Amino acid sequence: MRLRRLPCPARATGSSNALSTLAAHHPFAETPHPLAALRARLLAGLPVSPTAFSAAVARACGDTLPALHGLAVASGLDAFAAVTNSLAARYAKAGGSFPSAARVFATARARDASSYNTILSAIPDPGKALAFAARMLRAGDVRPDAITFTVALSIAAGRGEAGLVRQLHALASRAGIAADVFVGNALVTAYSRGGSPDAARKVFDEMPTRDLVSWNALVCGLSQDGDSPAEVIRAFLRMLKTGGVRPDRISVCSVIPACGGDGMLGRQIHGFAVKLGIEGHVSIGNVLVSMYYKCGTPSCARKLFELMDERDVISWTTVISMDGEDSVSLFNGMRRDGVSPNEVTFVAMLSALPENTPTREGQMIHSVCLKTGVSEKTVAANSLITMYAKLQRMDDARTVFDLMPHREIIAWNAMISGYAQNEKCEDALEVFSLMVKRTRPNETTFASVLSAVTAMETVSMAYGQMYHCQTLKLGLGASEYVSGTLIDMYAKRGSLEESWKAFGETSLHLHRFSSDDTTHPMTEEIYRVAEGLGWEMKFLKNCSQVEMENAV
């Protein structure tokens, strides 16, 4: 069937029986406005404007889209950039077919900035998208607009291309677009994601116009940086005082993590969320639950969690990771609630399990991992190995290890450490011998291996010395983890001279510590050693009674 051209503003009105018949019998014949409006105009032989046709394309899906594409070509509407842009955008979005969108762009008789922006946004590979943007900028036949720079900056930031972000910033300034609020927002976000908070603040301060997105980009970027919680609070307060915008859930979700362990500040922001009427949103509830746990008020966190109207996988994963004693019952509650656990949930669950967890509960979790396919993920498999080692089920841990398609150093270390902790030292050394053929060991590896050698009285000291040499060759001898186990190994084997040499290889760090200090991470060990030294002093000559009493 030969198709005649449809009437359009660029052509004289004429009959179009063939296209009208196609319109009447095509699947979009009964679809609602604006496709129905297009059909009515086709059947009536009326002109079709590019705007009306583009509106119909925006609603098209399935077989309707290629049919409309054919109509555009037959009618000559493909001469309008607005029509080809809408076809390319719809192919990329509804049809999920970038090649079709690219063909529309390549054959388009007219292109504008929107044409390039449509393809730039649709290219699935970020690297190719940036190359396309570079070609557009070099060609110079079309002037890039704010959307061009916004999309390009988002892609560059996602790839961690800090240098490219700076180049795009310079190009936007040269084009006179850097002052645009959309470009400014994209720059603040890109610099924040690239670890340049100072540059993000500078761009933000120089913006002539700021909207809610601008403030959220600044607060969220500073929050993600993680190194300046005070800056996050200051930016949020500045937003409230001078921003002229009403904070939304993104604003509040960004500032709550900055509270850290400050429960009073956290409660104030919680109250502010209530005033805004956004406390019922699941994302707000999730960050509040996490905040109350970090502030040392688990009862408040659990109460808030139980009062949440909606709980998603993040909600459940948060309480599971924070409440180890109740993690199994929470996990079962999550499944009863119809929420599917993800890999992060399983890792949190396995890490939170206490050592006295019954074996059957650990195996139940493993079973769910298998059913959901999560056990094939490397991080989840590593956690399963650690869990079985904690439960003294090294045979099960080895099964998980052997079935892993790809083993990273964490998996090797988990097996070696698990064997050493469960007094299966020969197995630990056997796994280490396999590891060195495939992966370079690190300080954690040698700490476990040397602990295993220390515990094996039947093993010759030559093994320990061999592993000591390996640490020196790999430049790990000065590590605190390695040197500590070396000192322990030589001392327990009666080689005090070698122990002292190992101590000399350690990079010493002095720590300030007073008698009433309880903040040091090794407080208990320090007091225990000090008490032992005190008792030894009692048997020394030339030591007064007062000195002995003060020492203990």
d(C-alpha 428, C-alpha 414), whole Å: 10
Q: What angle do CA 178, 181, 187 make, to 5 degrees?
A: 55
Three-class SS state of 471: helix
Three-class HEC string of 156-211: HHHCCCHHHHHHHHHHHHHCCCCCCHHHHHHHHHHHHHCCCHHHHHHHHHHCCCCC
pLDDT at residue 489, rounded to an integer: 75
- Provide the Cα torsion 171, 174, 177, 182; round to 10°: 30
Of 306, 273, 275, residue with least CA distance to 289: 306
Q: Say what angle helices 327-336 and 359-372 make with each other, to 10 degrees.
A: 40
**Identity of the residue numbered 167:** Q
d(C-alpha 143, C-alpha 545), whole Å: 89
d(C-alpha 528, C-alpha 523), whole Å: 9
Question: How many other C-beta atoms are found inside a 10 Å radius of the C-beta of residue 26?
Answer: 19
Q: Taking the CA atoms of the chain, what radius of gyration do you get in angstroms? A: 33
Contact 171, 138 (CB under 8 A): no
Q: What angle do CA 58, 62, 64 make, to 5 degrees?
A: 65
pLDDT, one tens digit per residue, over 339-361 is 999 999 999 988 888 878 888 88
Q: Chunked in runs of 10, what are the mean pLDDT values of the chain (552 residues)?
A: 40 38 44 64 78 84 82 87 91 80 89 90 88 83 89 91 92 92 96 90 94 95 82 92 91 92 91 92 95 93 94 95 87 92 90 84 89 86 92 93 91 94 91 91 88 78 78 78 74 58 49 57 60 53 46 41
Token pair for 233: 């609070």
Phi and psi based region of residue 76 (left: phi greater than 0; alpha: psi -120 to 50; beta: remaining): left
Question: How many other C-beta atoms are found inside a 10 Å radius of the C-beta of residue 194?
Answer: 21
Ordered by start, the domain boundaries in the chain are: 1-122, 513-552
pLDDT at residue 247, rounded to an integer: 93
Q: What angle do CA 173, 122, 63 make, to 5 degrees?
A: 150
- The pTM score is 0.72
Token pair for 130: 């940036």
pLDDT, one tens digit per residue, over 505-541 is 544 444 555 555 565 555 665 665 566 555 545 444 4
pLDDT at residue 19, rounded to an integer: 44
Of 388, 387, 411, 409, residue with least CA distance to 401: 411
d(C-alpha 318, C-alpha 299), whole Å: 14
Mean predicted lDDT score pLDDT of the chain: 82
Q: Say what angle helices 229-242 and 212-225 make with each other, to 10 degrees.
A: 170
pLDDT at residue 172, rounded to an integer: 92
Contact 351, 377 (CB under 8 A): no
Token pair for 464: 């320990």
